[in-house]
Copies of this chain bind each other. A is one copy, B any other.
């Protein structure tokens, strides 16, 4: 064997569409021997890994904790059997991707690794909406945040980071839209703050819903199954006039 252990690539799959992968990620997938992928990675992207064994290690909301240690172990084991091991994650691996836990496991086992960055869902959603996340005179900053909290966490209050920012993108929050809206309004964010929910950004089945913060609980009726971002801030007041020309199929389906 020409190698002692293989190398593990933590690769960002981007927002969904397979041509929104980076060129580097596409090349690594092409020569991958084995790919461990999230459940939400789009099939067209997986097909780029023509020669690889493909293993879903999908974690969906609510079933994170038990799965992560098992994934870490499988990555280390695979590096002892294969030359090019890919851990393919939706979006960018370093944003809400639990990458640090996998990196720590690889380092502890002496396995070489490399992280390949990706386009995050918010960037793709913003591009499709034609509305920039930052905007001169309106928004000089944007926070990316997840409202999920686990036992024993001592991190900053997520709502405080949203209230202090000009633009906010909430990841993995569509299942708790009602409590998010309630919390943010109680912290002083105006109920009329423009909001956009984008599900499956960059994919044919995408859905975009324009509303306000106080109307956010209504998205519970939409039964979202794909990855969705909730975007909040004055910049999104511009969505209605821009979006219609950008989407080939009917979107901006009013939930009211």
Give the B-binding residues of A (Cβ under 8 A).
Answer: 12, 14-15, 17-24, 26-27, 92-101, 103, 107, 113-120, 123-124, 126-128, 130-146, 148-150, 152-156, 158, 160-161, 163-166, 235, 238, 242, 246
Q: Please determine whether A156 and B161 come into contact, CB atoms closer than 8 angstroms.
A: no
Copies in the complex: 2
Q: Which residues of B contact A141 (CB under 8 A)?
A: 143-146, 156, 158, 161
Q: Please determine whether A164 and B163 come into contact, CB atoms closer than 8 angstroms.
A: yes
Which are the 9 A-B pairs with shortest beta-carbon distances?
A164-B164, A141-B145, A115-B127, A117-B123, A94-B126, A19-B24, A100-B132, A143-B143, A19-B23
Q: Please determine whether B20 and A142 come into contact, CB atoms closer than 8 angstroms.
A: no
By beta carbon, the residue of chain B nearest A164 is B164
New A-B pairs, 14, CB < 8 Å, besides A15-B117, A117-B127, A163-B164? A22-B22, A22-B23, A23-B23, A94-B132, A96-B134, A103-B242, A114-B246, A115-B127, A115-B128, A137-B150, A140-B155, A141-B146, A141-B156, A161-B161
Q: Please determine whether A242 and B134 come into contact, CB atoms closer than 8 angstroms.
A: no
Q: What is the CA–CA distance of A126 and B91 in the complex, to the nearest angstrom?
A: 14
Q: Which residues of B contact A138 (CB under 8 A)?
A: 155
What are 11 A-B pairs with beta-carbon distances under 8 A?
A: A12-B119, A12-B123, A15-B117, A17-B24, A94-B132, A100-B235, A103-B132, A137-B150, A140-B156, A143-B143, A155-B166
Q: Please determine whether A153 and B127 come into contact, CB atoms closer than 8 angstroms.
A: no
By beta carbon, the residue of chain B nearest A148 is B140
Closest Cβ of chain B to A103, distance in Å, is 6
